[in-house]
């Protein structure tokens, strides 16, 4: 195998010699001197084999750490189903599914925009904080998560939902399973049957389901909106930041995060900003872009600088600022954005009339997906409007596919009118 040299001569290379393989790389000719000199950029020289002991760049530059690499040991974190990034639950399984990641990836933010005068978004934010507190109670003296509530005091945490213990049938079933784990002759016979392949197919199917559910069994919990979280959260669980200037708020959030991360590098910090710019809470000076913009940019900076530990959720009453650029600003700077649109009075009455025999099927509004963390930033078109409906049920916040309800009474009346005999 031959190659032409720059001087016009021919050189030979052995067939067993790998081009660009191990050994010293070919030294390019220095165009300024005319002879062979050292390469201008050794780090970018092609053909250098990179072994485990060879650095990827200059020796004086540190290798950047992968975002979220140290937080995967936290029981509240699991890999995203879409991108494999470390992800935490929002406290609502249905919202986790809408976001495509089974939660919010670490280092991301979610904006919940709500139309009308309702406050359904507060249910999501409280479940988000309550989920972190439950993770702290998995082990004694464990601080796996910490919550930061902006603009409210400890009274906000009084309405945190408690864990859902299940219906009476579920509780009886759990009691039966607990009794079944006890040593008895029947259990011994069942183990023998499993050992020799009797009913093995059913047992294997059940074991596969159990394994899938137990891989991240503490990742997400179901909350009962009719119950309160007991015992009440402690200062180790939640920090409260009173209202101040936007720059001061961002500074205080950073200080808390730095202190908590220094104590535990694997901690997950959930920052919530309930009812942002609500006139009953925020002064008029906050309703100007000169105050809101630095605060939103500050939150975005925090999620980028602490991508291994921080997730942010913000709620905004949309109708109060519909004619201003504030909602667009928040949606564009947040990594994810969903919008809750409660039904108008006429539609709500129709739904209640249609489902009067099944009140558990009554929905309260539509859920619009404007943006999904990470995936929307990569260019995937994931905007969905009027495809899902939410209901703030007695037990939990649920989201389901939306379809226009049909009033069966009106249909029956039309059928009766068209089935009459007409005589001429």
* CATH number of the CATH domain containing 398: 3.40.50.300
What distance in Å separates the CA atoms of residue 305 and residue 246, rounded to the nearest whole number?
18
Contact 298, 247 (CB under 8 A): yes
**Residue ranges of E strands in 115-265:** 145-150, 161-163, 223-228, 238-241
The winner for highest mean pLDDT among 314-323, 356-365, 407-416 is 314-323
Q: How confident is the model at residue 212 (pLDDT cuts 50, 70, 90)?
A: very low
Please report whether residue 203 resides in a domain: no
Mean pLDDT in the chain?
A: 79
Please report whether residue 133 resides in a domain: yes
Please report whether residue 47 resides in a domain: no
Domain count, the chain: 1
Identify the helix (H) or strand (E) that includes residue 370: strand 365-371
Residue 274's domain comprises: 77-162+217-362+369-410
Please report whether residue 169 resides in a domain: no
What distance in Å separates the CA atoms of residue 7 and residue 21, rounded to the nearest whole number?
24
Please report whether residue 352 resides in a domain: yes
- Mean pLDDT calculated for residue range 145-151: 97
Q: Residue 405's pLDDT is what?
A: 80
* Global confidence as pTM: 0.72
What percentage of the chain reaches a pLDDT higher than 70? 67
Residue 272 scores a pLDDT above 70: yes
Backbone angles phi and psi of 42, in degrees to 5? -60, -30
Please report whether residue 421 resides in a domain: no
What distance in Å separates the CA atoms of residue 1 and residue 356, rounded to the nearest whole number?
85
Residue 370 scores a pLDDT above 90: yes
Q: Residue 360's pLDDT is what?
A: 85
Q: Residue 259's pLDDT is what?
A: 97
Q: Per mean pLDDT, which range of 136-140, 240-244, 308-312 is the poorest? A: 136-140
Please report whether residue 186 resides in a domain: no
Q: How confident is the model at residue 204 (pLDDT cuts 50, 70, 90)?
A: very low
Cβ neighbours of 227 (radius 10 Å): 14
Residue 186 scores a pLDDT above 80: no
Please report whether residue 115 resides in a domain: yes
Q: How confident is the model at residue 218 (pLDDT cuts 50, 70, 90)?
A: confident
What distance in Å separates the CA atoms of residue 394 and residue 391, rounded to the nearest whole number?
9
Q: How confident is the model at residue 309 (pLDDT cuts 50, 70, 90)?
A: very high
Residue 48 scores a pLDDT above 60: no
Residue 365 scores a pLDDT above 60: yes
First to last CA, the chain: 102
């Amino acid at each position: 195998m031959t190659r032409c040299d720059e001087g016009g001569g021919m050189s030979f290379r052995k067939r067993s010699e790998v081009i660009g393989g191990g050994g010293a790389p070919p030294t390019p000719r220095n165009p300024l001197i005319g002879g062979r000199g050292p390469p201008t950029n050794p780090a970018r020289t092609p053909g250098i084999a990179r072994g485990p002991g060879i650095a990827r760049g200059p020796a004086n530059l540190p290798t950047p750490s992968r975002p979220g690499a140290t937080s995967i040991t936290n029981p509240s974190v699991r890999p995203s189903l879409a991108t494999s990034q470390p992800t935490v639950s929002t406290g609502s399984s249905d919202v986790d599914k809408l976001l495509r990641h089974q939660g919010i990836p670490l280092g991301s933010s979610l904006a919940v925009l709500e139309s009308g005068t309702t406050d359904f978004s507060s249910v999501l934010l409280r479940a988000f904080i309550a989920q972190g507190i439950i993770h702290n109670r998995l082990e004694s003296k464990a601080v796996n998560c910490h919550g930061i509530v902006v603009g409210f005091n400890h009274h906000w945490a009084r309405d945190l939902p408690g864990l859902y213990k299940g219906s009476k049938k579920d509780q009886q079933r759990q009691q039966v399973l607990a009794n079944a784990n006890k040593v008895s002759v029947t259990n011994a016979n069942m183990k023998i049957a499993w050992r020799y392949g009797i009913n093995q197919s059913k047992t294997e199917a059940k074991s596969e389901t159990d394994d899938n559910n137990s891989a991240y069994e503490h990742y997400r919990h179901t909350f009962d909106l009719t119950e309160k979280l007991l015992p009440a959260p402690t200062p180790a669980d939640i920090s409260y930041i009173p209202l101040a200037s936007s720059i001061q708020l961002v500074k205080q959030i950073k200080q808390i995060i730095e202190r908590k991360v220094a104590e535990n590098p694997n901690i997950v910090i959930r920052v919530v900003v309930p009812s942002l710019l609500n006139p009953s809470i925020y002064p008029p000076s906050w309703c100007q872009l000169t105050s809101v913009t630095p605060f939103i940019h500050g939150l975005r900076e925090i999620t980028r600088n602490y991508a291994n530990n921080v997730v942010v959720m913000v709620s905004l009453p949309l109708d109060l600022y519909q004619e201003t650029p504030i909602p667009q600003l928040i949606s564009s700077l947040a990594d994810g954005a969903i919008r809750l649109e409660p039904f108008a009075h006429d539609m709500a009455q129709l739904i209640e009339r249609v489902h009067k025999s099944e009140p558990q099927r009554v929905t309260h509004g539509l859920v619009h997906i404007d943006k999904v963390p990470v995936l929307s930033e990569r260019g995937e078109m994931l905007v969905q409007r009027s495809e899902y409906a939410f209901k703030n049920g007695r037990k939990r916040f649920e989201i389901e596919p939306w379809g226009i309800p049909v009033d069966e009474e009106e249909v029956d009346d039309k059928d009766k009118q068209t089935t009459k005999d007409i005589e001429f």
